[in-house]
Structure 1
Amino acid sequence: MTETILTLNAGSSSLKFRVFARDGLRELAGGKATRIGGAAQFNAYITDGPTTQTTLAPGADHHAALESVIAFLKAHASEWQSVAIAHRVVHGGTRYTGPVRVTPQVLTDLEALNPLAPLHQPHNLAAIAASERVEADVPDIACFDTAFHAGHGPMTTRFAIPAEFHEAGVRRYGFHGLSYAWVAESLRRDHPALHAGRVIAAHLGNGSSLCAMSQGQSRDTTMSMSTLDGVPMGTRSGAIDPGAVMHLMRAHRMSAAEVETMLYDRSGLLGLSGISNDVATLLDDGSDGARFALDYFARRCAQAAASLAVVLGGIDAMVFTGGIGEHASSVRERIIAQLAPLGDFRTLVIPANEERMMALEALSVLERDHAA
């Protein structure tokens, strides 16, 4: 029987999973539940094998979605035995700077961070709670998107505000850490000279950010206290003048909730184009609005990369990952063309694989616990 590590990545209306063999982390299976809370669907596949699709009960929640995952796994119980469930958790705060086995205290600490990531953290924790009910005997391991950036010093973590607010948690954290950790791991394995050098990694997708790395370590990143900051994204605004937010609340009498919805759900490429948040759709559309949105996105990404090059003292390579970064070559070209003042540097595309990074981190926790 093969010992396995299950990875779970819970979003607001989705639950993605992968199954890896503990020995060598060979991918055995994967899939996802989509439209959770509505007309939910569950799709699963065996690597190099068949795909199955199931319609879940109307309004199915994360617990029901996880039960579908577990039922799929139990159909292979004679072949696989789960030894750990690795969960993507967006926010670990300042306390959790690496993967940890989930305990009641860990869960309480992570729930306290919900206000810092209100659109992501509750769903991540809901998957952990569902996992504990469905597979109580299998350890849950939390893997954090903030952890890769945990070594930043005050020059990077501070906002220019009074110290008491920084000490209360109003500070820069950074996200997409699991994706950047995989980029660093891939560079270490396949491009050791670049791993040791100055790299700007761009995780570009419906959520986008850039990260400055040297020696495989994060030095700075564009997202800060929330997943809203930095470059524009699919539906998120990216950086915006705080005065503009205050103006919206005062002059347009928008509530904090209304501003939050506008900046998270109606802005970014969608707001700029008035057409779509999807880059492929905008590229096919070709209208003035679509071209403007893509040009704006490329300029902001190039400006962010140039700013990060200052932190690194130059750039040896730029790595693209994420859905846009991997598949939209014309967007990559628009960004690179604007970085000509930085001189020559290599450009690479590394497919995102946060799930394998989670499996690696879970394996490290199992090995650490065994050694103890």
Structure 2
Amino acid sequence: MHDRGIQRYGFHGLSYDYIARELAAIEPETAGGRAIVAHLGNGASLCAMDRGKSVDTTMGFTALDGLMMGTRSGTIDPGLVLHLIAHEGMSAHEVEHMLYHQSGLLGVSGASSDMRDLRMLATPEALEAIGLFAWRAAREAAGMLATLGGLDTLVFTAGIGENDAAMRASICERLAFTGIELDPAANLNHAPVISTPDSVVTVRVLPTDEERMIARYTAELVKGHSA
């Protein structure tokens, strides 16, 4: 299978590259040490980094894997796909469409793929979707501790990660066993550091800039061809 290009790729690489560079600028000696970066938006994933190098990610062969997302299911039992095709009369195309475009926050809430809409609706289904999103993110982050052997830095980025203080608090509450202590005021103000001085883990909010990374890579490519 590997010879046919079937392997674990991971996604959101531009975002994680940018954040890794930012961490290296903030902490030149450690680049954040053992860090988990949570890219939480309509598409969502986590990346475990050891001194700026990616060592684990929640996405695999496709961007469907891992966390619950706006319209994507995230990780599910592969047997469910087989069941839907073999026993529910669904075609492979129909299952693919459902998992990519009708699942996640939209599928659970039955209303919207936008976290802001769900918070305003506050229906039982919307609240369930919000809770599942936080639980999945915390669960996957906890699993990455086995890869990293501990945690020094937790970074929130992308639309939800940068702007949804309640979601950050919910995830950090579930990860309190790591020694995270959140500063509620700093979190509400979207401060660059939202953990307390006594927190074992430094929790940061860092805006990502994927467009800048595209520009950087393009400039390097053009420069290389003209050399």
Structure 1 and Structure 2 fold alike (TM over 0.5)? yes
Structure 2 CA distance for aligned equivalents of residues 191 and 280 of structure 1 = 33
- The AA in structure 2 aligned to 1:174 is G
C-alpha contact 1:194 1:317 (8 A) present in aligned 2: no
Q: Which residue of 1 aligns with 2:178?
A: 342
Structure 1 CA distance for aligned equivalents of residues 223 and 21 of structure 2 = 19
Pair 1:264 & 2:97 matched:
no
Matches within 5 A, 1:131-280: 165-195=1-31, 197-280=33-116
Deviation of the 1:286 alpha carbon: 1.3
What secondary structure is seen at the aligned counterpart in 1 of 2:9?
coil
Structure 2 CA distance for aligned equivalents of residues 193 and 210 of structure 1 = 23
- The AA in structure 2 aligned to 1:171 is Q
Q: Which residue of 2 aligns with 1:51?
A: none
Q: Which residue of 2 aligns with 1:333?
A: 169
Pair 1:365 & 2:221 matched:
yes
Q: Which residue of 1 aligns with 2:144?
A: 308
Structure 2 CA distance for aligned equivalents of residues 167 and 275 of structure 1 = 42
Structure 1 CA distance for aligned equivalents of residues 211 and 155 of structure 2 = 19
Matches within 5 A, 1:286-297: 286-297=122-133
Q: 4+ runs of 1 displaced by more than 3 Å?
A: 366-370
- The AA in structure 2 aligned to 1:350 is L
C-alpha contact 1:309 1:315 (8 A) present in aligned 2: yes
Q: Which residue of 2 aligns with 1:113?
A: none
Please provide the CA RMSD for this pair: 1.3
Q: Which residue of 2 aligns with 1:284?
A: 120
Structure 2 CA distance for aligned equivalents of residues 322 and 306 of structure 1 = 20
Consecutive unaligned residues of structure 2, counting only runs of 5 or more, are: 180-199
Q: Which residue of 1 aligns with 2:189?
A: none
Deviation of the 1:342 alpha carbon: 1.7
Structure 1 CA distance for aligned equivalents of residues 99 and 30 of structure 2 = 36
Q: Which residue of 1 aligns with 2:211?
A: 355
Taking structure 1 as the reference length, the TM-score comes to 0.54
Structure 2 CA distance for aligned equivalents of residues 268 and 234 of structure 1 = 5
Structure 1 CA distance for aligned equivalents of residues 92 and 2 of structure 2 = 21
What secondary structure is seen at the aligned counterpart in 1 of 2:6?
coil
Deviation of the 1:308 alpha carbon: 1.2
Structure 2 CA distance for aligned equivalents of residues 273 and 206 of structure 1 = 14
- Relative to structure 1, is the Cα distance of residues 327 and 194 closer, same or farther in structure 2, using a 3 angstrom cutoff? farther
Query: What's the % identity of the aligned pairs?
Result: 49
- The AA in structure 2 aligned to 1:290 is A
Give per-residue Cα distances to partners, 1:95-137, cap 9 Å, x unaligned: xxxxxxxxxxxxxxxxxxxxxxxxxxxxxxxxxxxxxxxxxxx
- The AA in structure 2 aligned to 1:271 is G
Instruction: Pick the structure with more strand per residue.
Output: 1
Structure 2 CA distance for aligned equivalents of residues 367 and 189 of structure 1 = 24
Structure 2 CA distance for aligned equivalents of residues 369 and 216 of structure 1 = 28
What secondary structure is seen at the aligned counterpart in 2 of 1:331?
helix
Structure 2 CA distance for aligned equivalents of residues 349 and 333 of structure 1 = 12
Instruction: Pick the structure with more helix per residue.
Output: 2
1:324 to 129, 136, 160: 160
Structure 1 CA distance for aligned equivalents of residues 41 and 136 of structure 2 = 14
Structure 2 CA distance for aligned equivalents of residues 228 and 278 of structure 1 = 17
Deviation of the 1:328 alpha carbon: 0.8
Deviation of the 1:363 alpha carbon: 2.4
